[in-house]
Structure 1
Amino acid sequence: MLQSASLREPVPARFNLARYCLAENARLRPDATAITVVGDAGALRWTHAELDRKVRSLAAGLRGLGLAPGARVMIRMGNEANAALVYFAAIAGGFVPLLASSQLTYEEADFLLKDCGAAALALGAAFEGETHDSDAIVLRGADLARLAETPPLDDYADTGANDPAYLVYTSGTTSRPKGVLHAHRAAWARRPMRAHWTGLGPGDVMLHAGAINWTYTLGVGIVDPLSAGGSAVLYNGHPDPNVWPRLIAEHRATVFAAVPGVYRQMLKYAELEQFDLSSLRHCLSAGAALPPSLLADWRARTGKEIYEAFGMSECSTFISSGPATPVHPGSPGRPQPGRVVAALPPDGGETPLPAGETGVLAVRRDEAGLMLGYWNRPEEEREAFRGDWFISGDLVEFDAEGYMHHHGRADEVMNAGGYRVSPAEVEKCLLAFDHVAEAAAAERPGRDADTTIIKAYVVIRDGAAHDEAAILAHCAAHLAAYKRPRAVAFLDALPRNANGKLNRRALP
């Protein structure tokens, strides 16, 4: 699926991500709410003018510590306002923040701290007692409050669009996470999402159900609404499916974003009809495939659309449905205008495959949203590129209308009697069976040590029968013999990681 690069908006040569999100709002709508963080005890709100000043003040305070330009500032916090403040302040000061997941263990966080060579470590309330064997300057709540009293910078750092802006860490094929380094231009590259996924504009209120240190939340929940002139609402209280419709009603959210699992929990446990959802224009989903049955149930229950998207840490979100891109259930959408995306032959070559053929998903190297590279991992960086293309490792096909269909990861492909079989293809068939709410497929040992079979793992809808024979018969009717599961395991829930994605390796 190739599109003309001429559709892109040129990135300004001098560009600072934090200025882009904050400065214009402070000028045009200073008294409007920028960020609201809701907890069990109440809410903290900052206007655009307050956020702009706080960021420039903290940026000045960080500079006062003597940090070198481009120094890494690691942020180890929960879903709290200070996380966004330090993130933007580091970028405003010309530094490179790393928002680490609050779910990391001490050992995992310590690895990131040392791997990125952080010059400063900002700790949230839950981590203030930690000590790390590092030369990094440790900043706790009181330290940050003091630095935020520094007279503000007159302006944001004068950075180039291609200068390093922030780091995220992602799991790779190796046993250790790797840093993904992004440029300031990554925020500008998100502009096509407005018409073709999020639909965000001035005055919109975005409620995101994720944690701020996840790239989905950071981008869609914070950067996108602020850069579009809207406001962001985050929640850090006790999780409860009824929280989300309540917050939509209380804050008059116009867009709600979550992973499919959150929508499933809301449909199952939340009293949706008890809340006024009239402010909600539409919803967003990413992080995992949105089952067509879940989409249909949500539409029937709420009358609201869910726009799905596909992205990755290295390139954010570049395939989606949205207000200008009709939803095709079962597909996350098609490449946004200006993105140059293709399916390349799995075994090599740079010639894009025609519609209907399965290959590895590739993004052209000149994509503005693509990472600068992997942090201190030159070998893995080289392996990630094939000529002018970044290779994602996802097996996909594009149909005649340009919609992408995902067939799993290249390193998850099953071998059934010598045939390559995509788990996603089997899972799509399983999900089409009425009684199945969630499904996964994996290659498992057969009756003897020399054979393997495809095994299905399913979560059954409430009240439905656990009928293995019926599920296998359904698969026999819709899949070639070599693609069919030979056994079914019934689970209460599929194993997922902290971001809601299927953890296939944890399947029993």
Structure 2
Amino acid sequence: MTLAHPASRPMPATSPATTGATPPDPAARLVPLRDADHAAVLAEAVRVRASGGIPVVGDERWPAALMAAQVEHAAATLRDLAARDPRAAAEIAWAAFTSGSTSRPRVVLRTEASWRAGHRVAADWLGLSPGEELLVAVHPVSSMAVHAASLCGALGARLRVTARARLSAADLAGPAVLDATPSQLVDALDLLDDGAPSTLRVALIGGDRLPAGARDRAAAHGIRVAHFYGSAEASFVAVDLDGAGLRPLPDVRLRIADGADDAGPAGPNTPDPNTPRARTGLLELRSDQLAAPDDSRLSSGAPRWREDGWLTTGDRATWDPDAGVLEVHGRADDVILTAGATAAAADVEAELAAARDGSGRPVASGVLVVGVPDRRLGERVCAVVEPARGQDPEAALQMLKTAARAGLSPAARPRRWVLVDRLERTGSGKIRRVLPDAALPAATRHAAGRQGHA
């Protein structure tokens, strides 16, 4: 197993204390891990945790300097927490990374208790028995993968990883549960439609919106979908088990921006007769599953963690406390200002991703919508399209343009279209919000400020 940086190798926990000179360095518990053998990395992470260490799982494709910087980032975050709250720092069990869809992944410190709270609800959704297999389709650097390893350890299940970076038919025979992102679920469904044998009965899907028709396609193959909204900082926030919409978990309290939509104090997610119905804005939350607070900030510069202990997610959402349904619209900073109008990139992406051909098959397997500089309009809506398997690229592009005219306002319709063989993705399978070289000159390739889910 590869260590990220020699200086990051954990020291014996007793050595600083025996001198009596200084308190132990909390970062001495950090154990950096990365390797091309993803199953071995995750198994070692579980062993490190069982021995009292804090596993820091990196990406074997990162340059050594980047891995060392990420380990130091984790160390600095843990030391900062120890300075503020030594007891909280002593309870840290895992150091996970956000997806890094626009920039360097950010470390998130988790206690065992914060993840166990989520394990209990996930166990009910999955019905996973001891000895059964859970297939995790994301790279070990993703917090989803490390969480899956922890979940399997808690349930006595066996963790399985994909044979290659992308799901293959061989991956689907054996596991009972697929833990993946929406795009990876679509990959699995395409394989099943082509006749791949499968033992899957449940798909635990998070990280983005569920594509239109995916739940029905899964049901046709005997797979039940548990689609959740969550993040590296918050774990499971809300779940849709039947297609009726995301509903917050019992321990989760929600509010929109100013706190007016707090689900308490009458009780978790209990309707308040004085609360306005269905408000939209920046989503904040509290729950038993939250990570340790830190001093990180949103792209707007606002603190991610409020002084009252609430987490500001950075997502725009509509919360209807009467109906108990949460609708997540995308990142609050993921908007495009064009010709005096505002277009939400996530809404445009969802509309295009829902497009179907005459046989009902998806037109695109991935869509990235960003604003590109335009002297006259301010920003121009640009759609970068990864055609679905089996679709002719030019025909797919024409179908998407038709879908845009039918379902989007004039301001939200893409004015620039780019076809690519495959969109770049993060370790968690999310589309990385970086424009390909073909879309823009080098000076404006990065979709600055536009973030995907953490």
With normalisation by structure 2, the TM-score equals 0.73
Q: Determine whether 1:373 maps to 2:289.
A: no
CA distance in 1, matches of 2:100, 2:342: 22
CA distance in 2, matches of 1:174, 1:502: 10
CA distance in 2, matches of 1:432, 1:160: 44
Please tell me whether Structure 1 or Structure 2 has the larger radius of gyration of its CA atoms: 1
Kept after mapping to 1: 8 A contact 2:235/2:289? yes
1:244 to 150, 166, 171: 171
Q: CA deviation at 1:383?
A: 0.7
Q: Taking structure 1 as reference, are residues 189 and 161 closer, same or farther at Cα in structure 2, changes over 3 Å only?
A: farther
SS for the counterpart of 1:111 is: helix
Q: Determine whether 1:419 maps to 2:358.
A: no
Q: Taking structure 1 as reference, are residues 233 and 101 closer, same or farther at Cα in structure 2, changes over 3 Å only?
A: same
Q: CA deviation at 1:404?
A: 2.9
Q: CA deviation at 1:216?
A: 0.8
Q: Determine whether 1:168 maps to 2:96.
A: yes
**What is the match of residue 190 of structure 1?**
118
**What is the match of residue 83 of structure 1?**
41
Listed as ranges, the matches of 1:195-234 within 5 Å are 197-220=125-148, 222-234=149-161
- Aligned-pair Cα RMSD in Å: 3.5
**What is the match of residue 403 of structure 1?**
325
CA distance in 2, matches of 1:471, 1:99: 39
1:327-358 deviation line (CA, Å, top 9, x unaligned): 34xx5x3211221123x24xxx2222855432
Structure 2 spans left out of the alignment, 5+ residues: 1-9, 17-23, 77-86, 262-274, 358-362, 440-454
**Corresponding residue pairs, total:** 384
**What is the match of residue 484 of structure 1?**
413
CA distance in 2, matches of 1:106, 1:483: 42
Q: Taking structure 1 as reference, are residues 444 and 111 closer, same or farther at Cα in structure 2, changes over 3 Å only?
A: same
Q: Determine whether 1:383 maps to 2:299.
A: no
Q: CA deviation at 1:409?
A: 1.0
Kept after mapping to 1: 8 A contact 2:201/2:222? no
Name the amino acid aligned to 2:413: R
Q: Taking structure 1 as reference, are residues 336 and 106 closer, same or farther at Cα in structure 2, changes over 3 Å only?
A: same
Q: Taking structure 1 as reference, are residues 491 and 174 closer, same or farther at Cα in structure 2, changes over 3 Å only?
A: closer
Listed as ranges, the matches of 1:86-485 within 5 Å are 86-117=44-75, 163-170=91-98, 176-194=104-122, 197-220=125-148, 222-235=149-162, 241-246=168-173, 248=174, 253-269=175-191, 273=195, 275=197, 277=198, 279-300=199-220, 302-321=221-240, 325-328=241-244, 333-342=246-255, 344-345=256-257, 349-352=258-261, 354-364=276-286, 367-374=287-294, 377=295, 383-388=303-308, 389-398=310-319, 401-435=323-357, 436-437=363-364, 438-446=366-374, 448-449=375-376, 451-461=378-388, 462-463=390-391, 466=395, 471-485=400-414
Name the amino acid aligned to 1:423: A
CA distance in 2, matches of 1:474, 1:390: 36
Q: Taking structure 1 as reference, are residues 470 and 90 closer, same or farther at Cα in structure 2, changes over 3 Å only?
A: closer
- Between the two proteins, what is the percent identity of the paired residues? 23
SS for the counterpart of 1:506 is: coil
Name the amino acid aligned to 2:239: S
1:259-296 deviation line (CA, Å, top 9, x unaligned): 33333334445686352x3x432222223332123443
Kept after mapping to 1: 8 A contact 2:139/2:427? no
Kept after mapping to 2: 8 A contact 1:442/1:456? yes
**What is the match of residue 493 of structure 1?**
422
CA distance in 1, matches of 2:130, 2:15: 37
Name the amino acid aligned to 2:128: L
SS for the counterpart of 1:466 is: helix
Name the amino acid aligned to 2:367: A
CA distance in 1, matches of 2:162, 2:400: 39
Q: Taking structure 1 as reference, are residues 360 and 263 closer, same or farther at Cα in structure 2, changes over 3 Å only?
A: same
CA distance in 1, matches of 2:152, 2:409: 46
Q: Taking structure 1 as reference, are residues 240 and 86 closer, same or farther at Cα in structure 2, changes over 3 Å only?
A: closer
Kept after mapping to 2: 8 A contact 1:267/1:298? yes
Structure 1 spans left out of the alignment, 5+ residues: 1-60, 119-158
Name the amino acid aligned to 2:318: E
Range with bigger deviation, 166-175 or 349-358: 166-175
SS for the counterpart of 2:179 is: strand
With normalisation by structure 1, the TM-score equals 0.66
Q: CA deviation at 1:102?
A: 2.5
Name the amino acid aligned to 1:94: G
Q: CA deviation at 1:171?
A: 6.1
Q: Taking structure 1 as reference, are residues 494 and 294 closer, same or farther at Cα in structure 2, changes over 3 Å only?
A: farther
Q: Taking structure 1 as reference, are residues 354 and 109 closer, same or farther at Cα in structure 2, changes over 3 Å only?
A: farther
CA distance in 1, matches of 2:150, 2:129: 12
